[in-house]
Structures are given as structure tokens and as C-alpha cells.
Amino acid sequence: MQTFNTPLKLSDINFDNIVYKDIKSNSNKTVIFLKYKDNNTLRNLAIQTPSLININNPIKKGNHWDLDVPLTGKKTEKVNEFATFLNKLDQKVIYDARINSSKWFQNFDTDEMNYQEIIRTSDDKRFSNGIVRVKLIKNNDFHTIVQLNNKTNIGIDKIPKNSWVKMIIEVHAIWINKNGFGIFLKPVLISFNPIELNKYRFIEDSEDEVDDVIDSENCVFIASNHANNKTNDLETSNLRLVNDSLDIDASTKFSSTSSDNKQNSTVSSSSDNDDDDNNDNVDDTIPINNVNI
């Protein structure tokens, strides 16, 4: 019987149990791989996201694809918990970077390094809570599994826009280059569930043909009736027609999250460096926050 690894619950993760294992470097980059100590056993730090909204197509960048996922989802509470976790993870890495600065940054002649936060700002005003950029990988060593409805495997080029997305992500490594440092989130499994839109069309009705005949000569009949009834003293009743108005909010509303303790900053664009087999898929992003080391 096939067994599957399961991600850790966010509420069960103790940041003090994060272990920095192997450090690999070349002339352009340093990569520090992470593990998690779980009951005296080292395992991958894999987490699961809540259901988030996907409105973008992946963009190919060298040997991977970038997909920007807004921090907006089905359940506000779950999205808030996820955003809080990511912010605390940022703080943990920045703190440990100061402690390990002589070891981590020895290949870079600088007194301070910029840190790229996991949650980035979005140009889309609808997503003021930010986005998370994941890198979909497909090479000889590893490829991200992409599914539809958690069942059918699909190609990266078949990812549907306007869908709900859940991801299993490994907090895989810390990347460092001359521009700064940050965390590489390695997407292991991504499942998309297209959002169903109710589509209607008008039915054909014979009344339409009647309505198409313009009755502009009704005044003739009105005048005739008025003449016939001129001598009659009849009671008349006025029928008042009231048109109901219905205001429709055309904008799509989603639950959203607030990013706790998020540092205010502007996000720079990512730069991809493909240096060696071990470092190929590590995010090289121009960072945001200055960290004195």
C-alpha cells in the first residue's frame, strides 16, 4: 500500500526546531538548506496553504515558472493564520541571519544585506494584503506536481485562471547573493479548482415579436374612447406602477487577510541565477529590508 508524507500543521510548528543543515556556495550564490526537528527526527519543513484565489497565468523564467498568488481566499481566518506564519518565518530567518552572519555571508563583502520578504506587495489594488510568488519547477532532478481538482495531473501551461488553489510547499532553503537574501519556498504539489460561473442566455419568446411593433398611433383610439365617454360621469381609478430597483455589486468579493507585523517596504523584481545543480531553483530576488549583519 502506497504511503504519503503529510505536511505539518501551522499551529504545530515550533520555529526553534528549524535546523540549518548543509551550506553550499559558488562564486555568485550561497544556499543554506533547512530541515525541521520533529520528535528528534529531521524532516522536510512542508506546509499546506489554505484555499487561495488564482487570477494569473504562470510566467516562464528560465528553467522555472513564476506564479503570483494573492493572499485572498475562501476563509479569512485560515488566510490570516497563513499570513501570520509567513511573517513570523521572515522574522526567524532575519534573527538567525544576524547570529550566523560571519558564516552565512562570508563570501560577500558587505556590512548589511537586504532581505526579501515572502509576502510581496501587489500592483493590483484589490489585493492590498499582498501576494506570494511560487516557482514551479520542471527539470531532471525535480518537478512540481500540478493537478486539477486534486485528481488529474495537468501541464503547467494548462493552469486555469480564476480558480481556487491549494499548495503543499517546502520551506526549502535560504538563498544569498550580492543583492540580498531570502527564503526559497519549493512547491511540491499544487491543485487548482476552477471557479464555476453560472451562465445564462435569454430564451426566445413570441412576446418579443409583439413588442417589436411600435404602437405610436394609440392616440387615435384614446381620442375615440374619450369622445364616446365624454358624457358619462364614471369613476376612474389610477393604477400606479412601481418599478423595483435592484443594486447589483458587480465586483467580485473574496475574504482576505491582514498580514500581521508585516514590514512596510517596496518589493523589487526577482533575478534568477542558474549556477549549479544544487542551486538551480533557489530564488534570487532583489530584496526589500536592510538587515545589519
* Per-residue pLDDT at 290 exceeds 90: no
- Rounded to the nearest integer, the mean pLDDT of the chain is 80
221 within a domain of the structure (yes/no): no
Q: Positive or negative CA dihedral for 259, 261, 266, 272? A: negative
Task: Report, as an integer, the average pLDDT of 174-203.
Answer: 90
40 within a domain of the structure (yes/no): yes
206 within a domain of the structure (yes/no): no
The boundaries of the domain holding residue 30 are 18-195+253-292
6 within a domain of the structure (yes/no): no
Supply the pLDDT for residue 110: 78
- When pLDDT is cut at 50, 70 and 90, the band that residue 248 belongs to is very low
Task: Report, as an integer, the average pLDDT of 100-129.
Answer: 90
Ordered alpha helix ranges (H), the chain: 76-99, 101-104, 207-211, 218-228
85 within a domain of the structure (yes/no): yes
* Per-residue pLDDT at 256 exceeds 70: no
The pTM of the full predicted model, rounded to 2 decimals, is 0.69
Supply the pLDDT for residue 191: 98
Supply the pLDDT for residue 254: 46
Q: Which CATH number does the domain housing residue 185 bear?
A: 2.40.50
235 within a domain of the structure (yes/no): no
Number of structural domains the chain divides into: 1
- When pLDDT is cut at 50, 70 and 90, the band that residue 203 belongs to is confident
Contact 261, 87 (CB under 8 A): yes
pLDDT digits (tens, 9 = 90+) for 136-172: 999 888 999 999 999 999 999 999 999 999 999 999 9
242 within a domain of the structure (yes/no): no
Burial class (CB in 10 A: 0-12, 13-18, 19+), 191: buried
Task: Report, as an integer, the average pLDDT of 221-249.
Answer: 47
11 within a domain of the structure (yes/no): no
- When pLDDT is cut at 50, 70 and 90, the band that residue 245 belongs to is very low
